[in-house]
Structure formats: C-alpha cells, structure tokens
Structure 1
Amino acid sequence: MPDDAPSNPTDAGEGKKPPVAPEYAAVVPDETMENDLRQLVRLAIAEDLGRSVDWTTVCLIGEETCGQCSIVPRAPGVAAGMMLVPWILDEFDADIDHECHIKDGQPLVPGQKIVTLSGNARDLLTSERVVLNILCKLCGIATKTREFVQAIEGHHAKVYDTRKTTPGWRRLEKYAVRMGGGQNHRTGLFDGFLIKDNHLALGGGPGTPLDPADAVRKALQWRSGRINQLPAPDIVEIEVDRLDQLQAVLPAGPDIVLVDNFTLDQLRQAVAMRNQLNPSVQLEASGNVRIDTIGEIAATGVDRISSGALTHRAMWLDLGLDWLPPQAS
C-alpha cells in the first residue's frame, strides 16, 4: 500500500454519503432499439424459413384455421421484452392479435399467462419459436440481474452491466438489465471516456506509455473543449489495477475510477483512499463479480459494481406456449 495512503481501511465505511457522478445514458425502448429488434427478427425469419415456407404447418393446418395460445413461464423470474412483442409480430406480417398481462420488470410466477396470442393458426405456429427465443433470452437476463441486485440490498452500491453483450443484441440486453433492477454502463464507445491499459500503452508514443493521471487530464481537457459536440452524459472514467495507480489518478479528478480485480482488502483501502484524496470520485469494482461474491464487494463501500455475467452468463428463462384447441373461422 502506498506510504501516504489512509492507514485505517475502516475509514471507508458506508456511513459516508456516496459521491455523486453523472450516469451513462439508460437504454429505453426507442426507434434505435426497434430497428435493432426488427433486424434480428428478419434474420431469425430467414433462418427458419429461408426462401421457402413452414412445410409441416402448411401440410397439416388449414389456411383458415384460427388458434389461441398463452406464453407461460415454467420457472420463476422477471419479465423483460413484453412491450417488444408487437414489433416482433409485425415483422412476420402475421394475422395475430396479442394481449400482454404483465409489465416488464414484474415478477413471473410459473403457470401464469403473461401474453395471449390469437389469430391465424399457421401464423401462430410459424412465429412461435422466434417470439419465445427473444423473450426467453431477455427474461433470463432480467432474472439474473435481479438476483445480483437483491444480493447487495442494504448497501449503497449499484449493479451495472458491461459491453460484453451478444453482437446486435446490446440495446435489448441492456434494457433487460434495467428491467431486472440493474443500471446501464456505457452503451458503446461513443458514450463516454473509459481509459484502459491499452490506451495508456499506446497513447504516449512509441515505447512510452501514457501516464494515467495525464490521460485523465487530457480527456477532461478534450471534453471541456467539445462539450457541445458530445452526447450527455460525458463521463471520464479510467481503469486501474493497482492502489498506487489509484492514488495517482484521484487528484486528476476523473468522474469514475474502475478498480479491476482488487481483493476485498484492496477495495476497502481504495475506498478509504478515495475518501481522503478526492471524495467526489466514484469507485467502480469489476472482476471476479459473482452472485456469491457481490455482497462482500458491496460491503467494502464501493459505489458501483459492474459485471459482464449479467448478460453473457444469464441462462434463458424457460417459457412455453399453452394452446387452446384451434377453432375454424
């Protein structure tokens, strides 16, 4: 530990008021998300139907046959994606009516009807798997996130996602994180400054790494000169993996310092150091964040905990279709 770092890690305690920093933009259903979803659905339709049709359905189901079914969870979880159902069905150009019985973010109980679909039976059968795949994935992420959020109840820290998302699915997955009670980290590289070790290695010229504190000051200066060109919030964040690096960057005044793969003792020391040197800086813990470790991490007094596991390790929630007997129109 640096010589002039706080000697008493318990100074970090959670009795102190957490520093306030701007948040990255929250992902909400908007035109961009709709475009992402529609592209994914078009790809899914192409995967299922190619240039042909659903031969089994065409062979066995009459053209005018109508049907009704409900989407039902087989396991407890958290709803995400219910409000996206109209966009999914629209891409099938299907003769299907829908009714959502639950809102995104609400708990799911096995056996409850969460969406009812009714209309042309051929359209229902052809669109069934695509609708379920999307909802199973998003509900799984929301459920995983809710578990992490509940594991740190009583602490002021918040749970954040990362950019470790499925290509093409980022906004959808980040929306699901929010429905589970988590917070969104930056959506893309355009969404703020996050100075990492590779930037430092390459930013100082050939063979000369850039000093972390200088990198922060450069980013802050860049931001101030282009404030009207940057989308809000324009956060300056830097990643460190040692306490001496943290000590060096705190006086430079970044909005957030991401402390990567710190032990619990190092996190406590980091919080005490932050409280002494620059209390306005938020600390974000990342690395080795699991459901069995996140509570202890939150107890160190950090403000933010980010984990790629919310998205890349979330299991799909088991959803199924319960059918009513088809009716002739």
Structure 2
Amino acid sequence: MKDYATVEPDAAMESNLRSLVRLSITEDLRDAVDWTTVCLIDPNRRGGCQIVPRKSGVCAGLAVLPWIIEEFDADLNVQIHSTDGEQLEPKKAIASIEGNVRDLLTAERTILNVLSRLCGIATLTKSYVDAIVGTKSRLYDTRKTTPGWRLIEKYAVRCGGGQNHRSGLYDGFLIKDNHLALAGDANGPMAASAAAERALAWRDSTVDRMHAPSIVEIEVDSLEQFRDVLPVGPDIILLDNFRLEDLREAVAYRDQAGSPVELEASGNVKIDTIAAIAATGVDRISSGALTHQATSLDLGFDWFDTNAS
C-alpha cells in the first residue's frame, strides 16, 4: 500500500503552488502595479523582515517559500530558520527575507496567506494525531480540500503527522453508496460485494493497467453490508458513521476471520471523538475536518532596516 507519510514537496505540488501564486499576483496587480508602494517607497530602498508566528503551531510551507519569491520575479533573498513539521514558538522567526522593499511589500500578503493556511492545517492535524498516540490507528485526510489547493493542503497534513488518502479520483477506487445505488438496476442497488469484485477484477485486468490505481476501497454503512463484502478482499473497507460498538464488532469479526483487509472509520471524527474511535482498533481514521475546518495560523512580518541604499 502506498505510503504518503513524507514531508518532501514534489514536482506536481510545485506546479500547483506556482499556478496559485500567479493567480494571486493577477488578483493583486492585474496589469498594473502596487500603486501605494510605488507612490511612497523609493525604488532603491533596501530592507528586510522576519516571518514570525504570533501563536504556537506546526510549521508547513517553508519549503515552498522560494517558489513564491521566484514567481514574483523579486529582488529578494530568503533564509529559512525552521523546518516543515517542526513545532513553532510564538515570536521566534521561521524565515528572513531581505532585498528590495517594494518587492517585499508587494509579495507580503501572498506569502503570509500561503504560509498561514498551511501552518493552520498542520497545527490542527497535529492535535488529532496527538489524540490517538498509543493506538494502532493512522490519521488520513480526504478530498474535502480547497479547489486548486489540494496537493498543497495535503502536504500540510503530512507536516502535521497525518497521512494522505487518495489525491484524486484517478489514483484509487473508492466505492461509495451513490455508486452502489446508481450502478444497480430497476430491482435495486448493486450489492457491495459485487461492486468490490468488479473493481478488483478491473484493477487486475490488462486493460489500461499502467494507469489503473492499485488500491480498492469500499464504503459500507452497516455490519450486514460489512460482513457481505469482507470475504471479497478489498484493500480497505470504510466503515461510515458506525457507532463505537459496531466499530469494535467489525474489528473483532475481521480479526477472527484472519482477513488482511484494513478497516477505516469515517464520519463524526472530531478532536473530542477521535480517541474513542481509535480505541476500537480500526487501522485508519479519515477526517475532512483537517482541511475544511482548519484555521490559519497567525503569522506576521516583523520589519528591520538593512541600512543599505
């Protein structure tokens, strides 16, 4: 099974980030300039700032900061003082940027928007991860991400100690209740076991095998449906909105059967419920809250003068 637990940005993430920064530049400047800065700041003025967290949190996004600077084509130099995934202390600088003050002022909001968002996701993720320490459960995100930001937000989840579910519809089978309902006929929805068998056969066929995803996961919403699909042997069964006692029963049934299928709990996963969910023995817990409920971490620019002219 693919392991997504890494905090190294990749080429796809770089491409997404650069596209977002170009969009941000267009939003701020269109085909004009930063009129306030051009009006008030000498074009040769040099200066610098430190990026400083106002609150404690988890660092995410410093690895992409040079890409942001490059997209602004700015006369700026960056020094990194922290590491993505590291715990941040209030008022302790995580990076310094020096150079042309006009460029710094123009790029300021985009830099802070990106880093604050990513640090906020990493910080929230870390709180969830801490809540399940000592259990076998691993924490996963979902596709409930900001459009265009998915790879970057999923990177922030990894910085917080979480792992990534599939990145898109292209890299994993995930059979949900709507698939079962709409794949059926006039007599009713398709059975979960039949759907899982079809997905496994499709994956293992020679048709477009190069691009077929390796993971087959199916969502079930009852113990009866779970017992029906377990013998088929998908990689993962997602137990959707199961009660705690039903999660425990599913884990015990799987273990007694000696099945290698991983069990994933999803639904009503919050910071005050996740520990009890993990205690049932499930292998995986997925939560959309990691991205759609995260609050940006408060970061600011603390300015200093380089005394250069």
Q: TM-score range by the shorter chain?
A: over 0.9
What's the CA shift for 1:46? 1.0
- Structure 2 residue 94 is the aligned partner of structure 1 residue 145: no
Local SS of the residue matching 1:190:
coil
Do the aligned residues in 2 keep the contact of 1:25 with 1:233 (CA within 8 Å)? no
CA contact (8 A) 1:96 1:119 kept: yes
Q: 1:29 to 1:298 in 2, by over 3 A?
A: same
Q: What's the offset of the Cα at 1:156?
A: 0.8
Structure 1 runs, 4 residues or longer, greater than 4 Å off? 24-28, 230-233
Q: Does 2:280 match 1:297? A: no
SS of residue matched to 2:307: strand
Shift of 1:24: 6.0
Q: Match of 2:24?
A: 44
Alignment of structure 1 residues 104-183 onto 2, 5 Å = 104-183=84-163
**Cα distance change on mapping 1:159 and 1:230 into 2, 3 Å:** farther
Mapped pair 1:97 → 2:77: yes
What do residues 153-208 of structure 1 show as CA deviations (whole Å, max 9, x unaligned)? 00010000000000000000000000100011000011111110111111133453
C-alpha distance in 2, partners of 1:70/1:144?
24
Q: Deviations over 1:264-310 (max 9, x none)?
A: 11111111111123531110000000000000000000000000000
Gaps of 5+ in 1: 1-21
* 2:12 aligned counterpart, secondary structure: helix
Q: Given the two structures, how large is their TM-score scaled by the length of structure 1?
A: 0.90
Residue identity matched to 1:150: D
Deviation at 1:55, TM superposition (A): 1.0
C-alpha root-mean-square deviation of aligned residues, in Å? 1.5
Percent identity reads 59
2:179 — aligned with what?
199
Q: Secondary structure at the match of 2:50?
A: strand
Measure, in 2, the Cα distance between the counterparts of 1:116 and 1:206: 64
Asked if 1:63 is matched to 2:43, the reply is yes
The whole-number CA distance in structure 2 between the counterparts of 1:148 and 1:227 is 40
Match for residue 220 of structure 1?
200
Measured in 1, the distance between the counterparts of 2:193 and 2:5 equals: 28
Letter in 2 for 1:252: V
Q: Is the 8 A contact 1:121 1:326 kept in 2?
A: no
Match of 1:8 in 2: none
Q: Deviations over 1:95-153 (max 9, x none)?
A: 00001111110110001110100000000000000000000000000000000000000
Structure 2: unaligned runs, 5 residues or longer? none
| Separation in structure 2 between the aligned mates of residue 201 and residue 226 of structure 1, nearest angstrom | 27
Cα distance in 1 for partners of 2:237, 2:197 equals 13
Range 287-296 or range 199-208, more displaced = 199-208
Q: Secondary structure at the match of 2:202?
A: helix
1:237: which partner in 2? 217
Distance verdict in 2 for CA 1:231–1:107, change over 3 Å: farther
Structure-2 change in CA distance of 1:227 and 1:250 (3 Å): farther
CA drift of 1:231 comes to: 4.9
Q: Deviations over 1:26-80 (max 9, x none)?
A: 6752221111011110111111112211111111110000011000000001111
Give the Cα separation in 2 of the matches to 1:69 and 1:158. Answer: 38
Where 1:327 maps in the other structure, the secondary structure is coil
Segment of structure 1 superposing worse, 185-194 or 49-58: 49-58
DSSP-derived class of the 2:194 partner: helix
Cα offset, 1:227, TM superposition: 8.0
C-alpha spacing 1:313/1:69, structure 2 compared with 1 (3 Å): same
Residue number in structure 1 paired with 2:2: 23
Pairwise CA distance, 1:209: 1.3
Pairwise CA distance, 1:228: 7.0
For residue 229 of structure 2, the aligned residue among 249, 254, 274 is: 249
How many residue pairs were aligned?
Answer: 308
